[in-house]
Amino acid sequence: MGALKYHRILLKLSGESLMGNQKFGITAEMLQHYALQIKQLRDMGVEVAVVIGGGNIFRGIQSDGTGIESVTGDYMGMLATVINGLALQSALESIGVQTRMMTALKMESVAEPYIRRRAIRHLEKGRVVICAAGTGNPFFTTDSAAALRANEIGAHAILKGTRVDGIYTADPEKDPMAVKFDKLTFAKVISLGLEVMDMTAFTLCQENNMPIIVFDINTPGNLPDIVLGKSVGTLVEG
Candidates 149, 12, 34, 19; CA nearest to 90 is 34
Distance of CA 18 to the CA centre of its chain: 12
d(CA 198, CA 216) in angstroms, rounded, equals 19
Q: What pLDDT, on a 0 to 100 scale, did the predictor assign at position 66?
A: 76
Q: What pLDDT, on a 0 to 100 scale, did the predictor assign at position 16?
A: 87
The confidence band for 171, taking pLDDT boundaries of 50, 70 and 90, is confident
Candidates 6, 48, 10; CA nearest to 159 is 10
d(CA 55, CA 52) in angstroms, rounded, equals 9
Cβ pair 217, 13 in contact under 8 A = yes
Candidates 196, 193, 188; CA nearest to 164 is 196
Q: What is the pLDDT of residues 74-85, one digit of tens each?
A: 999 999 999 999
Q: What is the pLDDT of residues 9-60, one digit of tens each?
A: 999 999 888 888 888 899 999 999 999 999 999 999 999 999 999 988 886 5
Q: What pLDDT, on a 0 to 100 scale, did the predictor assign at position 129?
A: 98
Q: Which amino acid is at 119?
A: A
Q: Write the DSSP string, 189-216.
A: HHHHT--SS-HHHHHHHHHTT--EEEEE
Q: What is the pLDDT of residues 94-150, one digit of tens each?
A: 999 999 999 999 999 999 999 999 999 999 999 999 999 999 999 999 999 999 999
Helix (H, G, I), strand (E, B) or coil at 127: coil
Distance of CA 237 to the CA centre of its chain: 17
List Cβ neighbours of 159 (8 Å cut-off, separation of 6 or more): 9, 10, 11, 12, 213, 215, 223, 226
Handedness of CA 132, 135, 140, 144 (dihedral sign): negative
One CATH from 3.40.50.720, 3.40.50.150, 3.30.1370.160, 3.40.1160.10 for 8-237: 3.40.1160.10
Planar angle of CA 75, 79, 80, nearest 5 degrees: 115
What spatial distance separates the first Cα and last Cα of the chain, rounded to whole Å?
28
Kindly give the pairing relationship between strand 212-216 and strand 234-237: antiparallel
d(CA 163, CA 159) in angstroms, rounded, equals 13
- The Cβ-side half-sphere exposure at 37, using a 13 Å CA radius, reads 24
